Amino acid sequence: MDKQKIYEIVYFLKSTKGIDFSGYRLQILERRIQKRFYYTNTENFNEYYEYLRNSPAELNNLFDVLALNVSHFFRNALTFELLRKKIIPEILNKKKIQNENNIRIWSAGCANGDEPYSVAIICKEFLDRKENNFQINLFATDFDEKSLNKGRKGIYKASSLRNIKYGILNKYFVAEDDNFILSDEIKKMVRFSFFDLVNKHSRFPSESIYGGFDIVFCRNVLIYYDIEIQKLIFDRLYNSLNQNGYLILGEAETIIKDYKYSFRRENNYCKIYVKSD
Ligand SMILES: C[S@@+](CC[C@H](N)C(=O)[O-])C[C@H]1O[C@@H](n2cnc3c(N)ncnc32)[C@H](O)[C@@H]1O
């Protein structure tokens, strides 16, 4: 593996696009960059670097292949079932007792919006019930502007909706040609902003976004990063959560060693944790 060349490529991307992938695991960088060889007619990291330096368009392609913004609605369906059946009702009960009526949720690394909109759809069902009188603040952040814009538009292909129940599809989407257009009532529930979880100097979303959360989703993001960077991300996730707030990770992710005693696992079958120290 040409480690030095891989990092030259990564630093070149950083200097031109302002996004730093050097904290990604080396193997992921290697595999992802290699994927571009075929499309650029190059055969090794040296040749690819030369190509990249002379092709602004390729910078965007490389960014896309590294950002890995694949997602779909209700990914890991069981997690969303638990959200509906257990987590949201528990939060609502607690808030009632505390005389509060505001629920704050953050989807960190939201890609094209499939995840925060899935949460919004579940919350909408609660909001529609007469006995519930509360407000939802749902924030979605990513460092990929293209994904954020897709999220704001709320237009999806059928593949994004493969986990959706017919009733929900029918209620909140309109089919047009090959696309499914999300209804405005769901779209307006989610606020999208740029936020780089790793860059300490990243432009922050407004203060209101960065704390006091009842639930934080950070799924299928940590998995790409080295342990030191995971630690940095965990610091941010931990600090942004309320005491007893829920942290929801991707299926292949887990709490890092430094935070082992700061969270307890909600159950054995989903990566849902409760901030508990
Ligand atoms: C595989 S997608 C996961 C999307 C969604 N959370 C899910 O599980 O379906 C990973 C997303 O994390 C974003 N991402 C990766 N590193 C990031 C960082 N440092 N700051 C913000 N977003 C990041 C990528 O742009 C991408 O949209």
C-alpha torsion sign, points 226, 194, 137, 168: negative
* Distance from the alpha carbon of residue 241 to the mean position of ligand 1, in angstroms: 19
Instruction: Check residue 268 and give its pLDDT.
Output: 86
Residues of the chain with pLDDT under 50: none
Residue ranges of the alpha helices (H) in the chain?
A: 3-17, 26-40, 45-53, 56-67, 77-82, 88-97, 114-127, 145-153, 166-172, 184-187, 227-240
Bridging pattern class, strands 179-182 and 190-194: unpaired
Q: What is the value of pTM for the model shown? A: 0.94
Give the right CATH number for 77-275 from 3.40.718.10, 3.40.50.150, 3.40.50.620, 3.40.50.300: 3.40.50.150
Which residues have CB under 6 Å of ligand 1?
67-71, 75, 109-111, 115, 142-144, 147, 196-198, 219-221, 250
Round to whole Å and give the CA distance between 187 and 110: 14
Ligand 1 atom with the smallest distance to the CA of 144 is 25
pLDDT (tens digit, 9 = 90+) per residue, 193-235?
Answer: 999 999 876 655 655 567 899 999 999 999 999 999 999 999 9
Delimit the CATH 3.40.50.150 region(s) of the chain.
77-275
Of all protein residues, whose CA lies closest to atom 26 belonging to ligand 1?
69
Residues of the chain with pLDDT > 90: what percent? 84
Instruction: Check residue 210 and give its pLDDT.
Output: 72
